[in-house]
A and B are shown apart, each in its own frame.
Chain A
């Protein structure tokens, strides 16, 4: 392992984050606050409790997941797409680094950033609603796993994308709907039975459910299923990354 190279990539990417620290931190804080105002105060005043939890508190895990997933994808895809776009990727491709090391550097940096944002949102939420975390270790594990697997997904997206439109297309058309319909703001049990079944095909449901379990000890599906789902997604992404590595797809002509 060329650890110095991984460190160089990681540092370089984190420096970019640091330069834009204001955007990186302020925008999720503001948008979270807005969600609390809209969903928590306006809608929450009509929904007292979901499964025995105050609605404001209930949406916290979903909100964190929503932001962490979209941020992971955005950061990682941009992180690797930008050097491709600028042509500076020549340096990475001619350096004595393996593809795995490149992935660790970029995905590590993107996941770190979204983890930070997730924790900031958690802290922000603490100002609005009472919070309880039943299983802190599991909570952190779910959060980290989500950051890593969605950053990996974003990395693949960034390598695949041939232009800026494509870079935004997948998050906009696929990820955002799945996340919004994944039970961020409601419990699956609140849906009509047909929709409950359909929803089970949405992989994001399992992630949010597991994360919510780590807060309140309850979820839409069993926690083992949730864990299995996220590990399956992680494995799938790693498989695709491995394939890209083998073939040099979209990187080496």
Chain B
């Protein structure tokens, strides 16, 4: 598939001397959902801000739909809708006027039917004449999304869209994002909720300290990095592990009632058969066996730890 956003060797050093991005390269494919994960201060917002034209890059270049974001900013920006991390809205303005303004400032002619559709999609139609300051925090966030969608962008940036949003609204947003994807919109979202990336993303990018550690298809990543665990529940707890089981690196849980064996799914041999044979030889009796795949969250934490150690 063709890249709709292409970031090459992007660097950003803020006036204060903070280096927020270093040599970032990234391609976002048309129609995909890319989730950008990273700790606070990793540079996620900076990256988005450069693509949208809020921050000027110190090095490198970005193209959106083939248009350079600096030299050909009009064409590039027309394609993008931005939902910023911080809620910033005119408190005294009516919801509908604010959304109309967004459409207008992106150079699109007025279209009451389209505005109505966007407001309905975000359950804001009943609140269209309300002053923004009278809305709840979750509703304000939806107004931000409505404003970003008002000009029918091909690309949507969601910078931590679900921060401070309750579970129900979060699910609604996920649903909406899926619908947008189905309609062909490319989506870049940043999040601290790995659950969110796991639920929605096609690909996951991990960024820390201004560098992109990896960008990979979510399923492939989980297969590659994901560890499986086998939990062996014993009939009788063991006080001390028999020496024969030492090579397996088992962890004891629940006072020796449960033994946990971690193995790599990608490895040629998982060692399960030998472990079970050796276990039988020691005379321990099994009650139950479960296996579990590690979540994206654990993968993420592992990645960051490895990076910090390297």
Q: Which residues of A contact B (CB under 8 A)?
A: 2, 4-5, 7-9, 11-12, 15-16, 19, 83, 86-88, 90-98, 248, 252-253
Encoded as 1 (CB less than 8 Å from any A CB) or 0, chain B from 69 to 85 comes to 00001111110101010
CB-nearest residue of chain A relative to B147?
A91
B220 proximal to A (CB < 8 A): no
Q: Which residues of B line the A interface, CB within 8 A? A: 14-15, 52-56, 73-78, 80, 82, 84, 86, 88-92, 97, 100-109, 147
> Contact: A2 with B107, CB < 8 Å?
yes
Name A's interface SS: helix
Contact of A88 among B74, B89, B100, B106 (CB under 8 A): B89
Q: Are A4 and B109 in contact (CB under 8 A)?
A: yes
Expressed in whole angstroms, the minimum distance between the Cβ of A162 and any Cβ of chain B is 14
Query: In angstroms, how far is the closest chain A Cβ from the Cβ of B99?
Result: 11
A2 contacts B74, C-beta separation under 8 Å: yes
Give the shortest distance, in Å, between B68 (CB) and chain A (any CB). Answer: 13
Question: Is B107 within 8 A of A94, CB to CB?
Answer: no
Choose one: B14, B52, B104; the contact of A94 (CB below 8 Å): B52
Which of A87, A92, A98 contacts B105 (CB under 8 A)?
A92
Residues of A within 8 A of B147 (CB): 91
Asked whether, in the complex, the Cβ of A88 is within 8 Å of the Cβ of B15, the reply is no
Check A93–B53 contact: CB distance below 8 A: yes
Chain A: which residue is nearest B73 at the CB level? A96
28 contacts between A and B (CB under 8 A): A2-B107, A4-B104, A8-B100, A8-B103, A9-B104, A11-B101, A12-B97, A12-B101, A12-B104, A16-B92, A83-B90, A88-B89, A88-B90, A90-B54, A90-B88, A91-B82, A92-B105, A94-B52, A95-B77, A95-B105, A96-B73, A96-B74, A96-B106, A96-B107, A97-B107, A98-B74, A253-B14, A253-B56
Contact of A88 with B104 in the complex, beta carbons under 8 Å: no
Can you add 12 more A-B contacts, CB < 8 Å, to A5-B105, A252-B54?
A7-B104, A8-B104, A9-B105, A11-B104, A87-B88, A88-B90, A90-B82, A90-B84, A91-B105, A95-B107, A96-B76, A248-B56
| Complex contacts, A86 vs chain B, CB 8 Å | 88-91
On chain B, the residues within 8 Å of A11 by CB distance are 101, 104
CA distance A120 to B201 in the complex (A): 59
In the A-B complex, the 4 residue pairs with the smallest Cβ-Cβ separation, listed nearest first, are A8-B104, A87-B88, A94-B52, A96-B74
Taking CB atoms, residues of chain A closer than 8 Å to B109 are 4
Chain B residue at minimum C-beta to C-beta distance from A86: B88
Closest Cβ of chain B to A173, distance in Å, is 28
User: Once the chains bind, are B78 and A94 in contact (CB under 8 Å)?
Assistant: no
The interface residues of chain B lying within 8 Å CB-to-CB of A5 are 104-107
Closest to A7 in B: B104
Look across to chain A and name the residue whose beta carbon is closest to the beta carbon of B103. Answer: A8
Question: Given that A86-B88, A87-B88 are contacting pairs, would A95 and B106 also be in contact in the complex, using a CB cutoff of 8 Å?
Answer: yes
Q: How far is the CB of B145 from chain A (nearest CB, A)?
A: 13
State the Cβ distance, B110 to closest chain A Cβ, in Å: 8
Nearest-neighbor residue (CB-CB) of B54 within chain A: A93
Taking A4-B104, A90-B84, A91-B105 as contacts, is the C-beta distance between A96 and B15 under 8 angstroms?
no
Residues in chain B near residue A93, CB distance under 8 A: 52-54
Given A15-B97, A253-B55, residue A94 in contact with residue B89 (CB < 8 A): no
Q: Collect the chain B residues with CB atoms within 8 Å of residue A19's CB.
A: 92
Report A-chain residues with C-beta under 8 Å of the C-beta of B107.
2, 4-5, 95-97
Q: Are A94 and B97 in contact (CB-based, < 8 A)? A: no
